[in-house]
Structure 1
């Protein structure tokens, strides 16, 4: 082989090595390139979102929330137990309807009538945060409602609210549920709630001063501790069941179509202490919630707010709100956060559209 041929072969050899190195480098780049994580939507974790409209913590109704997320209020998280749907609501911001409180909550698209109902809601969840501030004398401070039955008609009262509440410095909090009377007459200002303890205390256990707390409940539920509820309304009777590992299963029954509170003499002692001193001493319609369309709600309905306790010592918490600044509230614990693992809803044939409720209440104030 002559010198000219030797040089050509050498050039070809070097060129081949360079092409190989470049190809390997490009191949390495392709191998190292990481794919962006795919969004796991809430509707993939709990596939029942066709039955709900979602109200966000900014007061907006975003409608049916299939393939939807909002990183401030509604998204998913994953831990050792799997995927969870997260509902988050600050102490202050824009509210939905006539409420004083912020909610990130599902509201059922249909309403049903207690007397002919055969409807059921189930959920498994854990509460991850309740407000770090609030007047301890106010019963609603440091609490969040995690499930409801709401009336769509007349006074729009609530035959069921399921609460979780934990005082600062306590390891364990309380789970309890409320029945709100469906007030007789056109004046609803005398309405009141009656609270029943599930695990821990009921609504009436409060602090002696704004910054002192009652004794921690021995049989309470900690933040991050999983529990479940079942709500069934069948032919006028509401049946409740609460379960949690390591805790006694609790069941309750309440008639929604025949009132036990039709006279002032029937007002319970708990109510006499909490509500009557504020003038909330109404009586209930004899037929209670008969004839009114009712619907389920599920999520995080924050019960702590920044309104002065002088306005109402049961519902106005005087908590920190940072003027409604969302980031500041989230930074120092002034919010409610609830994670749902699963849930189900069963709807009776007599259920009808709930659009009237949404049309009336879908206003940001």
Structure 2
């Protein structure tokens, strides 16, 4: 090949390379695959008051710092398609607190107060599940506590527990609240007086382990939203319950002066319900006056695996799968409560 032809060939390939370079410059640069991970939404993002609380979960996990805290099996956020909700979930059998044989995934207020000092707790919730196993004769079966005032002096009794309960096969359940007497003397005679909000009070039970009362006509269904306000002001507890499609209910209870300080004051509900376990105590005349209290909120499961024949009020004989939490969750042996709003603060003068 002569020098002239070699030069021509070189110029030809040089021109092709130059044109290819121009073409590649005209093409848009390939976008880098910059995948971003969606940030976790914590319960404290949904209900900002979490710095006021500590928590005990159904497996015994405890924490005093709930800002940016979650537990995927017990305490986390779920979205129902439109709204974020804080989920409290707990099995029938797990690790319990010092003062109870029932499991809970429940907030405990860090601040303590006396009835005269007062305090206020609100919550907007829906109960998504209660245990489907239990004994219909036992008042505590198929129930979960969604808010309470807990005593921290003396007997450490509870002047308020707000319950939701639904019998298997029923569409509607009941919301009711209990007042536990602050027993005079030892605490072996204590009992709860129960008041219905919508549906039944605690004393309505089945006639056999698997025979249920009629479904309450004015009850509230699983997944149905409701709100409560607990307002303790100058020793008086004011309760308000609201839910769309239901009558608003209000109640008042004196925490400084007992209605149950004499044997003749014991209501018939108590004489009937507690007869089998012999509890017929009376209350201190000044009730909970001067004793430290705090609020609790979440899912305090009332269903357990204890033998009903030993206590037909509180021992529900539920299935617990020997404490295997995964099996309990898979077979309906748990309680689950969702909250979308809640506040805590000082008590206020009632309207």
Q: Same fold (TM over 0.5)?
A: yes
Distance change (3 Å), C-alpha of 1:19 and 1:132: farther
Distance change (3 Å), C-alpha of 1:308 and 1:20: farther
Partner secondary structure for residue 310 of structure 1: helix
The residue that corresponds to 1:4 in the other structure is 10
Partner secondary structure for residue 48 of structure 1: helix
The residue that corresponds to 2:64 in the other structure is 63
The residue that corresponds to 2:165 in the other structure is 165
Q: Which string of whole-angstrom CA distances, capped at 9 and with x for unpartnered residues, describes residues 283-330 of structure 1?
A: 100110011001110000000011110121111111111111111111
Spell out the pairing of 1:77-226 with structure 2 (5 A cutoff): 77-114=78-115, 116-185=116-185, 187-226=186-225
2: distance between equivalents of 1:193 and 1:68? Answer: 34
User: Are the counterparts in 2 of residues 107 and 296 from structure 1 also a CA contact under 8 Å?
Assistant: yes
Give the CA deviation at 1:96: 1.1
The residue that corresponds to 1:357 in the other structure is none
The residue that corresponds to 2:3 in the other structure is none
2: distance between equivalents of 1:245 and 1:348? Answer: 25
2: distance between equivalents of 1:20 and 1:161? Answer: 72
2: distance between equivalents of 1:145 and 1:222? Answer: 16
Q: Which string of whole-angstrom CA distances, capped at 9 and with x for unpartnered residues, describes residues 76-132 of structure 1?
A: 011234111110010001101121100001111111111x22311111000000001
User: Are the counterparts in 2 of residues 77 and 85 from structure 1 also a CA contact under 8 Å?
Assistant: yes
Partner secondary structure for residue 338 of structure 1: strand
2: distance between equivalents of 1:60 and 1:71? Answer: 12
CA RMSD, Structure 1 to Structure 2 (Å): 1.8
Give the CA deviation at 1:14: 4.0
The residue that corresponds to 2:45 in the other structure is 44
User: Are the counterparts in 2 of residues 118 and 233 from structure 1 also a CA contact under 8 Å?
Assistant: yes
Give the CA deviation at 1:268: 0.4
For these two proteins, the number of residue pairs brought into alignment is: 342
2: distance between equivalents of 1:77 and 1:62? Answer: 20
Distance change (3 Å), C-alpha of 1:223 and 1:34: farther
1: distance between equivalents of 2:25 and 2:152? Answer: 72
Give the CA deviation at 1:17: 5.4
Greater gyration radius: 2
1: distance between equivalents of 2:71 and 2:190? Answer: 35
**TM-score (norm: length of structure 2):** 0.93
**TM-score (norm: length of structure 1):** 0.90
The residue that corresponds to 1:333 in the other structure is 332
User: Are the counterparts in 2 of residues 60 and 96 from structure 1 also a CA contact under 8 Å?
Assistant: no
Give the CA deviation at 1:11: 3.0
Give the CA deviation at 1:20: 7.5
The residue that corresponds to 1:353 in the other structure is none
For structure 1, list consecutive stretches of 5 or more residues without a partner in the other structure: 350-365
User: Are the counterparts in 2 of residues 112 and 348 from structure 1 also a CA contact under 8 Å?
Assistant: no
Give the CA deviation at 1:18: 6.5
1: distance between equivalents of 2:26 and 2:319? Answer: 64
Give the CA deviation at 1:276: 3.1
Partner secondary structure for residue 211 of structure 1: coil
2: distance between equivalents of 1:129 and 1:270? Answer: 27
Partner secondary structure for residue 271 of structure 2: helix
